[in-house]
C-alpha cells in the first residue's frame, strides 16, 4: 500500500468520523462531559482530515503523473479546505485558552493561522478566477471573511464578558462548514456517481450553517444578558 493510499484511507475514515459526531457537541450541554469528549474526537478527526488533505493536494500538484489543469485546481481547493478546517478548529480551541484576556492578543502562532487563512482565501480566489471556476473563485471568500474576523478578534480588546464563548461557537461551527463542504465537493459526487454538482450544492453547508451560527449567538447573548440582570 503506497503512502498516498494510506493518507487517502485516513482521510476518508477521519472525514466520516467528523461527519458522524460534529452535531453532538452542538446539541449537548455546553461544557458537559459529552460536549467536551465528543468535541475532542471531532477536533482530532479534523486534524487527520487536514493533514491528509494537505498531503494529497500537494502530491496531486507536485508528483501526480496524470495531473491535469482541472485536477490541479481541485488539489489546490483541497489544500484550501485543509487550511480552512484547521484554522477554524485551532481558533475555536485557542479562544478557550485565552478566555480571560482583557487586552490585545499578540501570540504569533494564532495571528499566523488567521493570516494564512485570509491570504490563502485571496490567493485561491485569484487562482480560481484565472481558471474561470465559479467554485474556486467565490467559495474562498469564506476564508477571507473568517480569517479577517479572527484577526480583528485577536487584535482588539474583548467587548463582551463572554467573548470567548461566542468565538468558540463560531470557530467550531465554521469548522463544521469546512467538514460538510469537503464532503459535498469531494465525497458525495463519488458516492453518488455524479460527474457534475450544482454550485448551490457546494454552498449548501454554508447557507445551512450560517443561520445556525447567528441563531445560537443571538440566543446565548440574550441568555447571558438575562443572567447578568438577575445577579
Q: Residue 185 pLDDT > 90, yes or no?
A: no
Cell numbers given for 186: 469531494
DSSP codes of every residue in 42-75: HHHHHHHHHHHHHHHHHHHHHT-TT--HHHHHHH
pLDDT digits (tens, 9 = 90+) for 20-73: 998 899 888 888 999 999 999 999 999 999 999 999 999 999 999 888 888 888
Kind and range of the H or E run holding 157 = none
Distance of alpha carbon 185 from alpha carbon 197, whole angstroms: 8
pLDDT digits (tens, 9 = 90+) for 69-97: 888 888 998 899 899 989 999 999 999 99
pLDDT digits (tens, 9 = 90+) for 109-165: 999 999 999 999 999 999 999 998 888 898 899 899 999 999 999 999 998 888 998
Amino acid at each position: 500500500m503506497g503512502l498516498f493510499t494510506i493518507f487517502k484511507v485516513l482521510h476518508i475514515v477521519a472525514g466520516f468520523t467528523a461527519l458522524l459526531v460534529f452535531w453532538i457537541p452542538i446539541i449537548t450541554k455546553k461544557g458537559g462531559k459529552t460536549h467536551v469528549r465528543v468535541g475532542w474526537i471531532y477536533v482530532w478527526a479534523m486534524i487527520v482530515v487536514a493533514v491528509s488533505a494537505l498531503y494529497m493536494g500537494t502530491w496531486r500538484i507536485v508528483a501526480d503523473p496524470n495531473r491535469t489543469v482541472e485536477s490541479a485546481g481541485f488539489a489546490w481547493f483541497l489544500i484550501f479546505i485543509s487550511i480552512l478546517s484547521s484554522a477554524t478548529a485551532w481558533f475555536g480551541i485557542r479562544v478557550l485558552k485565552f478566555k480571560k484576556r482583557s487586552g490585545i492578543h499578540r501570540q504569533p502562532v494564532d495571528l499566523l493561522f488567521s493570516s494564512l487563512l485570509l491570504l490563502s482565501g485571496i490567493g485561491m480566489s485569484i487562482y480560481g478566477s484565472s481558471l474561470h471556476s465559479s467554485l474556486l473563485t467565490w467559495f474562498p471568500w469564506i476564508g477571507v471573511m473568517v480569517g479577517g474576523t479572527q484577526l480583528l478578534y485577536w487584535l482588539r480588546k474583548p467587548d463582551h464578558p463572554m467573548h470567548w464563548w461566542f468565538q468558540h461557537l463560531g470557530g467550531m461551527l465554521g469548522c463544521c462548514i469546512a467538514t460538510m463542504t469537503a464532503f459535498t465537493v469531494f465525497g458525495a459526487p463519488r458516492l453518488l456517481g455524479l460527474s457534475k454538482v450544482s454550485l448551490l450544492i457546494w454552498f449548501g453547508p454554508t447557507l445551512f450553517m450560517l443561520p445556525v451560527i447567528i441563531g445560537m449567538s443571538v440566543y446565548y447573548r440574550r441568555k447571558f444578558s438575562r443572567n447578568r440582570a438577575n445577579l
